[in-house]
Copies of this chain bind each other. A is one copy, B any other.
Amino acid sequence: MQNVTYILVFLLGTATAYKNVTKEFVVPLDHFGFQRNETFKIRYIESDEYWNRGNGPIFFYTGNEGQIEEFAKHTGFMWEIAREFEAKIVFAEHRYYGKSMPFGDKSLDNEHIGYLTSAQALADYAQLVNFLQGGKSLKPKYPVIAFGGSYGGMLAAYFRMKYPHLVTGAIAASAPVHMFSDMVPCEVFHRIVTSSFNVASKVCRDNIRQSWNVLRTFVANKTNADWLKKQWNLCVAVNDSKGDVQDLVDYLQTMYETLAMVNYPFATDFLLPLPANPVRSVCQYLSQKLTGQKLLEGIGKVLQVYSNYNGKGDCVDYKNTDYGNLNASGWDYQACTEMVMPMCTNGVDDMFEPRPWNYTQFSEDCHKKYKVYPRPDAAWLEYGGDRLQAASNIIFSNGLLDPWAGGGLLSSISDTIKAVVMIDTAHHLDLMPKNPNDPESVKMARQEHKRNIEQWIRNFRLNNA
C-alpha cells in the first residue's frame, strides 16, 4: 500500500505541503517470546523528497500515543530541516494506535491489548530501521536520528539507549523520563500547571482555586444544574447523585492541564483547536476576582474556548474522557501497566482540589478496567530513570511552562547526554513548525539540536568510513 499524500505544515494560516507516502511494515506481535507467533502491520509515513539516497541520514520519529498523521503534521521541525540535511523522513506509528492495530478493532479489548508496551514498540521500530538500512550489514549505511515529543520523546531517548547499534542519536523533546514513582514529588505536574496560570494572572489562578467549592455547592440544586447545563453548553445536566460532579471536576482539571501543556505562542489544532497563548487567552475571563454564579460564568467562558474554539458548537461532553485529537485510548492502559506516573494535588502549591496519590486505589482501578495490576517499577527497571550516565547522544529538551518538565531531565549529565532548557515555552514547542511568534529560547534550542545532529552524523561517518 503506497498512497502519495501531502502533509500540511501550517505557518500563520499558510500551509507548506510535504510530499510523502504511507506504508506498512510487518512486525511480530511478540518480539521477546515465541508463545504467540502472529504478525501484524504497523504504518509509517515516509518522505524521500529531500533525501540524498547514497548518503543522507534517516530522521525517524518514534511515534507515540496517537495516529501518526497528527505527529507528522505538528513536528514541523523535522520537515523544515530535512532539506538542509538531505534527510529521509520517517514517522512510525506506535502499535495499538491509529491504524497499527494487531487485532483490528478488537485490539483494545482486554484479551488482546497485552502486547501494548513500550519495549514491543521499540522493537518494532528497531526492525523498521533495520529494514530501512537495507537489512543487516557489517556497517550501517545511513545515520539514523530519532525524534520524539512527550512519550514519543521518551521513546526516542530509549531507542538510542537500548539500540545504539541502530540509532545514532536522539532528540527527546519534553520527555518526562523522571515522572515515575519515587523520582519526583507527585505534586510537581500540577504545581507547574498552576504556575503557568499564575504567570498569566494571579487572580485567574485564585479564581480557579475557589471555583471547585463554588461549583460543588451550586450544582447540588437541580435548578442550578439546569442553569449550568445551558450556561456551559453541557451535553447533560449534572446529576449529583450519579457522580456527575466529579466527572465535571475531572474534565475541568484536564482542561487546565491541557491549556498549560499547549500554551503555544500561536493558534494550533495540536491536541485540539486553541488560540495563541491559550492560558493568557482564557485568563482574560477570570482576571478579576469573581464569586458565586459570576465565577461559574467566567469558568463557562474558559470552557467554551477549550471545547469550542473552532466554533462547531458541539456540547461539552464532560463524561467522555477521550483525549483531544490523538484518539489515544491505549494510553490509559499503558499508564495502568508500565507507565505509572504518580500525580497528586494538595490545593496549596496548586490550584486544584487536594487529591493525594493513592497507589492502592489506582492499582485496583486498573485491575477493574483491564484485569491487570500495574508494575510501578517496570519503566524504571527497563530504562533506568535518571541513571543515564552510560548512554550517549541524547538531547533532552524541556520548556519550563510545560507541566511535564517537572519529570524532565533539566541538567546535562555528560558531554553527550545534554539538557536544553527553554524558560518560556510549553510542551515540545521546539519540534513544532517555526513561527514568527516563537520566543528566542526555542530558536536557540533548534539551533542546538541542529548542531548536535550535525556532530552525530559527522562522527557516524568517521566511524563507518
List the interface of chain A (C-beta within 8 A of B).
Answer: 28, 30-37, 113-117, 119-120, 123, 126-127, 130, 136, 138, 140, 162-166, 181-182, 337, 370, 372-373, 375, 377-378, 380-382, 384-393, 463
Closest 8 CB pairs of A and B: A35-B114, A165-B384, A164-B390, A165-B387, A32-B32, A34-B114, A32-B119, A34-B372
Q: How close is A333's CB to chain B, nearest CB, in angstroms?
A: 8
Decide yes or no: A163 and B384 within 8 Å by CB, A28-B375, A390-B392, A392-B390 being known contacts: yes
CB nearest neighbor in B for A162: B162
CA distance A231 to B263 in the complex (A): 87
Q: In the bound complex, do residue B34 and residue A31 qualify as a contact, i.e. CB atoms below 8 Å apart?
A: no
CA distance A85 to B392 in the complex (A): 30
CA distance A164 to B115 in the complex (A): 25
Decide yes or no: A165 and B385 within 8 Å by CB, A34-B372, A35-B114 being known contacts: yes
Collect the chain B residues with CB atoms within 8 Å of residue A115's CB. Answer: 33, 35
CA distance A461 to B33 in the complex (A): 37
Collect the chain B residues with CB atoms within 8 Å of residue A119's CB. Answer: 31-32
Q: In the bound complex, do residue B136 and residue A37 qualify as a contact, i.e. CB atoms below 8 Å apart?
A: no
Q: How close is A138's CB to chain B, nearest CB, in angstroms?
A: 8
Majority SS of interface residues in chain A? loop
Q: In the bound complex, do residue B35 and residue A382 qualify as a contact, i.e. CB atoms below 8 Å apart?
A: no
CA distance A117 to B127 in the complex (A): 18
Q: In the bound complex, do residue B34 and residue A388 qualify as a contact, i.e. CB atoms below 8 Å apart?
A: no
Collect the chain B residues with CB atoms within 8 Å of residue A114's CB. Answer: 33-36
Count the copies.
2
Collect the chain B residues with CB atoms within 8 Å of residue A130's CB. Answer: 377, 381
Collect the chain B residues with CB atoms within 8 Å of residue A28's CB. Answer: 375
18 sample A-B contacts, Cβ–Cβ < 8 Å, listed by A number:
A32-B33, A32-B120, A33-B33, A33-B117, A34-B113, A34-B117, A35-B115, A37-B373, A126-B381, A127-B381, A163-B384, A164-B387, A164-B389, A164-B390, A165-B384, A165-B385, A389-B463, A390-B393
Collect the chain B residues with CB atoms within 8 Å of residue A378's CB. Answer: 31
Chain B CB within 10 Å, residue with most, of A32, A36, A384:
A32
CB nearest neighbor in B for A338: B34
Collect the chain B residues with CB atoms within 8 Å of residue A32's CB. Answer: 30-33, 117, 119-120
Collect the chain B residues with CB atoms within 8 Å of residue A390's CB. Answer: 164-165, 392-393
CA distance A136 to B36 in the complex (A): 32
Collect the chain B residues with CB atoms within 8 Å of residue A377's CB. Answer: 130, 136
Query: What 14 new A-B contacts, CB under 8 Å, besides A31-B32, A36-B114, A164-B390?
Result: A28-B375, A32-B120, A33-B114, A34-B114, A34-B117, A35-B36, A35-B114, A35-B115, A123-B382, A130-B381, A136-B182, A163-B384, A165-B384, A389-B463
CA distance A185 to B163 in the complex (A): 25
CB nearest neighbor in B for A337: B34
CA distance A372 to B38 in the complex (A): 11
Collect the chain B residues with CB atoms within 8 Å of residue A381's CB. Answer: 123, 126-127, 130, 166
Q: How close is A146's CB to chain B, nearest CB, in angstroms?
A: 13
Collect the chain B residues with CB atoms within 8 Å of residue A33's CB. Answer: 30, 32-33, 114-115, 117, 120
Collect the chain B residues with CB atoms within 8 Å of residue A140's CB. Answer: 387
Collect the chain B residues with CB atoms within 8 Å of residue A386's CB. Answer: 138
Collect the chain B residues with CB atoms within 8 Å of residue A34's CB. Answer: 113-114, 116-117, 337, 370, 372
Collect the chain B residues with CB atoms within 8 Å of residue A116's CB. Answer: 34
CA distance A386 to B136 in the complex (A): 11
Chain B CB within 10 Å, residue with most, of A136, A138, A181, A375:
A136
Collect the chain B residues with CB atoms within 8 Å of residue A182's CB. Answer: 136
CB nearest neighbor in B for A460: B389
CA distance A370 to B34 in the complex (A): 10
CA distance A386 to B393 in the complex (A): 19
